Structure 1
Amino acid sequence: MSGTDPSPSGTDRPYIVFSDVDETLITVKSMFDFLHYQLVRRHGAAGEEEYERITAVIGRRAADGAPRSDINRFYYGQYAGESVETITRLADDWFTERTTSTRGFYIDSTRRALREHRAAGAALVLVSGSFPPLLEPLAREIGAETVLCTRPLTEDGRYTGEVATPVIGEGKRAAVLAHLAARPAVDPRDCFAYGDHLSDVPMLELVGHPVAVGEDPELRAHLAARRPETTATR
């Protein structure tokens, strides 16, 4: 990945690196990869059919123009009544299997850039519409200090099927703004953010060093128009 000097302007000022996760740091869409994994593991062929049903509904809603935040809420509705303990255990198994598989799980250029930032003293923060059971093992692995994500509501150890605020689009912006507000010593102009999709723009626009990962032409064009030297590809 080019254009990602791990220190802001060569100074010793503290800075934060915000990174999207799905298709920015890892090659899969974690929510859907895990949904398929846990349904098939628990229910076999019936789980495969349930996964196809859920994703078909999501596909139709997306085609009809449903906001990504609404789709995010629908996704978590599928966990209503599920045990948090069970889902967390399955998520740990999913993460272990994916990270030990011969299939590439990480996008190496992003992982390498984040490691360089951390070595330079930056604080790493993951920002995602995914949820803690999938993101916390990843945060531990890469040394992220914080996860800003969608958090499903729970009651008596089970998911209710509802969420507080989807961390999608403007939700990412709000989460990052709140995090920056709690770190007044950090200048957002010194910070970096990595994203792969136009929906990451509300987050990317908050920092002085936005980085595009992948080949989304709209995202690349948007960042190139703003500051050409900050865009990058894998």
Structure 2
Amino acid sequence: MAATSADQPRNLTSRSMLAGQAAAAASEVESALRPAPDPKVAAFFDVDNTVMQGASIFHLARGLHRRKFFTTATIAKAAWQQFYFRVAGVEDPEHIANARASALSVIAGREASELAEIGEEIFDENMARRIWPGTRARAQWHLDRGHRVWLVTAAPIEIASVIARRLGLTGALGTVAEQVNGVYTGHLVGEMLHGEGKAVAIRALAEREGLDLERCYAYSDSSNDLPMLSLVGNPCAVNPDSTLRAHAKANGWRIRDYRNGRRAAGAGLKVAGTGAAAAGLWGIGRKVTRARSRR
């Protein structure tokens, strides 16, 4: 017997109730399967060539250049600084300071909300497809076990936060540019988050959050991050440079290489000299230098 029009609302109501009950049951099952948070354990990931291929600051700088934040003349100056580093093999403090000042002048007077919006666009344009699947899977492994997962990078906190949020991670620690009333001043808050600075930041976070560093994990591709890696009980070298690979082997650390073949650590878009990379302009210089070398 066909249902009458009077029956239809009752049937719709009944089906809606059943659907709601099923959804609630599924939610309960999902909650039961979700691991309980482990408040003592966190994993710390470097970004450049660890979480993503190449240097995040390079992709940010390229996006800002397309949006007319700075000129080609700025790139030429950065190229010279990059050339000097490659020949001399040392990070010249004056060059780093000049590069940092140039990078900060690019955003001085700009609203932080503008850069945040641009960072979201640049992630979609240049970064999303460069995330290493293996590292992302490892970060998810930690999340699935109730661990907090933090990015720790010399790159600007704005872009680090975008990457962390898009990957569903806990948060990010990065280099902080000073703001007054939501506008960049052209100065840093403290120093770039580089080398020993990363270890200092992690210690402070561990103290604040009650983490047991002996149970924590850290991941990086660079020997510059040995202070961070040595701070935790479970260090792992990811796509390591030759120095880090040798150190990891000598100390029995885990090594994970997600690259195609055994490329040198300087291959791709990796910025030589992380201090300069955080300043922002050497990454562009490297791209220009490599482009010219192909001609």
Q: Is the 8 A contact 2:59 2:127 kept in 1?
A: no
Partner of 2:231 in structure 1?
Answer: 206
Superposed CA deviations along residues 147-175 of structure 1, whole A, max 9, x for unmatched, are 11110011243222211221100110110
Structure-2 change in CA distance of 1:144 and 1:71 (3 Å): farther
Q: Is the 8 A contact 2:220 2:236 kept in 1?
A: yes
SS in structure 2 of the partner of residue 225 of structure 1 = helix
Q: Is the 8 A contact 2:156 2:177 kept in 1?
A: yes
SS in structure 1 of the partner of residue 248 of structure 2 = helix
1:89 is aligned to 2:117: yes
SS in structure 2 of the partner of residue 130 of structure 1 = strand
1:85 and 1:48 mapped to 2: Cα distance?
25
Partner of 1:54 in structure 2?
Answer: 78
Partner of 1:216 in structure 2?
Answer: 241
Partner of 1:30 in structure 2?
Answer: 56
TM-score (norm 1): 0.81
Structure-2 change in CA distance of 1:207 and 1:72 (3 Å): farther
Superposed CA deviations along residues 65-94 of structure 1, whole A, max 9, x for unmatched, are 325975774443442233322222221110
SS in structure 2 of the partner of residue 147 of structure 1 = strand
1:57 and 1:83 mapped to 2: Cα distance?
28
Equivalent positions of 1:121-140 (< 5 A) are 121-140=146-165
* Structure 2 counterpart of 1:171, from 197, 208, 211: 197
Tell me how large the CA RMSD over aligned residues is: 2.5
Identity %: 27
**CA drift at 1:48:** 4.1
Q: Is the 8 A contact 1:61 1:71 kept in 2?
A: no
* Unpaired stretches in structure 2, ≥5 consecutive residues: 1-37, 259-295
**CA drift at 1:51:** 2.8
Amino acid at match of 1:204: L
* Structure 2 counterpart of 1:181, from 199, 204, 207: 207
* Structure 2 counterpart of 1:105, from 130, 136, 140: 130
Structure-2 change in CA distance of 1:193 and 1:39 (3 Å): same
SS in structure 2 of the partner of residue 38 of structure 1 = helix
1:80 is aligned to 2:104: no
TM-score (norm 2): 0.66
Q: Is the 8 A contact 2:178 2:186 kept in 1?
A: yes
* Unpaired stretches in structure 1, ≥5 consecutive residues: 1-11
Structure-2 change in CA distance of 1:145 and 1:72 (3 Å): farther
Bigger helix share: 2
Q: Is the 8 A contact 1:194 1:213 kept in 2?
A: yes
Amino acid at match of 2:110: E
Partner of 2:20 in structure 1?
Answer: none
SS in structure 2 of the partner of residue 167 of structure 1 = coil
SS in structure 1 of the partner of residue 68 of structure 2 = helix
SS in structure 2 of the partner of residue 81 of structure 1 = coil
SS in structure 2 of the partner of residue 144 of structure 1 = coil
